[in-house]
Amino acid sequence: MLKFQLSSLGGVAFLLTACGGGGGENNNTTPTQPTTPPTCTATQYLENNVCKDKSQQTLSGLSLPTTINVDRWVTLNAKSSAGLTPTYVSKTEETCKIRDDLKQKSVEMLGLGVCTIEVSQAGNTQVLAAQPISVSTTILPVLTTTGIHLCGTDDKNNLPCDNTNLVNLFGMQQDGEKQAGRKMAYELISYNNENCIRDQVTGLIWEQKTKDKSLRDQDWRFTWFNADPKNNAGDAGIQASSTTCNGTLSSCNTTAYIEALNKANYCGYSDWRLPTRSELTNLVDYSTSQAALNPIYTNTPFTDGYWSSTSSAKQNTKAWTIDFKEGASNPTYKEYMAHIRAVRTPQ
């Protein structure tokens, strides 16, 4: 309640006012309301009651060689521009897997085929997730040892591979001395009453021949034929009659044979192919005085060579054959009748 009092000082009147009542309390005071924090978007974060944009981040440094042998591993060194720890995932776990080695990430090559690794970074409260990146490599087989355990000099062969016998040739990395590769090892695979062979070193799966006059009989011979210009070096070869494969095919040639194996789903697979020259050569065992195949490969005549898929670079009317009797590799005219031992690469 306001009180008024008229006062006179020197003939001049003043109006005095005073506050009163309510025990001295100010009834016109408004209470302070709490501030509501702003709502930030998914790409923002809240700091000092202000929405700020999260930082961008990118990944770099993920790399694999174009090709690599099975049983090897590669250190992974991807980096985040924000300094955060990347996460690696194998997209092809049947061929490669991620390993933790003393806080260092690496990828181990488990089997033949393609290995694909993806790296990502999920971000944090102030950094956005990075765009994932991926790289791939083709995993190749490891070569087997040749089986050779002796060495030679300019005028002598079949010598122990030591300094006494080789003298200045010691350390020249002859096969018998170096023993590069892994010792040959195979296992028999059975499927639906059919047998095929797994090379435990290279991972390749090989055809097992029969002796029953059916499609895979050991005695059948074929011409080399491939109509694909990308794979025939400019010469398709010859489509033969059905005579040399006992009428099991309308034409006894390499393409017709591989197609028949795949159509029959031999040993449970439909991706059989003609082996390359190096794959066939890798089967030759030179540990004996006469080169041969491991005994697990039954029904193997040595009267003729075995076709590879590799055409001769010098003469495209020829393709390479491997002679398992002497271990020789020869360019052979494509119309020649030779044997086939098919192979497949596990996927």
pLDDT confidence of residue 111: 81
Cα 122 to Cα 338: distance, rounded to the nearest angstrom:
58
**Residue 25 confidence (pLDDT):** 52
Instruction: Tell me: do 335 and 252 sit in the same domain.
Output: yes
In tens, the pLDDT along 246-292 reads 999 999 999 999 999 999 999 999 999 999 998 999 899 888 767 78
Write out pLDDT tens, residues 80-104.
999 999 999 999 998 999 988 656 8
User: Which residues, at least 6 apart from 265, have a Cβ–Cβ distance to it below 8 Å?
Assistant: none
Q: Contact 64/78 with Cβ under 8 angstroms?
A: no
Q: How far is Cα 11 from Cα 34, in angstroms, rounded to an integer?
A: 54
Find the farthest-apart pair of alpha carbons in the chain and give their distance in angstroms, rounded. Answer: 149
Sequence-ordered list of residues with C-beta below 8 angstroms from that of 178, at least 6 positions apart, any chain: none
| Euclidean distance between CA atoms 4 and 19, whole angstroms | 10
Q: 164 and 67, same structural domain? A: no
Run of H or E residues at 279:
helix 277-281
**Residue 309: its pLDDT value, please?**
95
Q: Examine the domain organization and report whether 258 and 342 are in the same domain.
A: yes
pLDDT > 70 fraction of the chain, expressed in percent and rounded: 89
Other CB atoms within a 10 A radius of the CB of residue 114 amount to 13
Mean pLDDT within 328-341:
96
pLDDT confidence of residue 149: 79
Average pLDDT over residues 31-60: 89
Calculate the CA 41 to chain-centre distance.
40
CA–CA separation, 238 and 259 (whole Å) = 16
**Is the same domain home to 175 and 285?**
no
Query: Which of 27-36, 228-237, 316-325 is least confident?
Result: 27-36
Domain end position, chosen among 105, 122, 140:
140
Sign of the dihedral through C-alpha 204, 312, 242, 338? negative
Number of domains in the chain: 3
Q: Looking at the structure, tell me whether residues 84 and 174 fall in a common domain.
A: no
Give the pTM: 0.62
Together in a domain, 260 and 127: no
Q: Do 207 and 159 belong together in one domain?
A: no
Give the phi and the psi of residue 218 in degrees, each rounded to 5. Answer: -60, -25
Given 140, 175, 203, the domain boundary residue is: 140
Evaluate whether residue 13 is within a structural domain. Answer: no
pLDDT score, position 292:
82
Does the residue 14 lie in any domain? Answer: no
Range of the domain at 225: 185-347
* Distance in angstroms (rounded) separating the CA atoms of residues 87 and 135: 14
Same domain, 179 and 293: no
User: Is 190 inside a domain boundary?
Assistant: yes
Strand partners for 13 = 8
Q: Are residues 322 and 235 part of one domain?
A: yes
End position of a domain, from candidates 155, 183, 211? 183
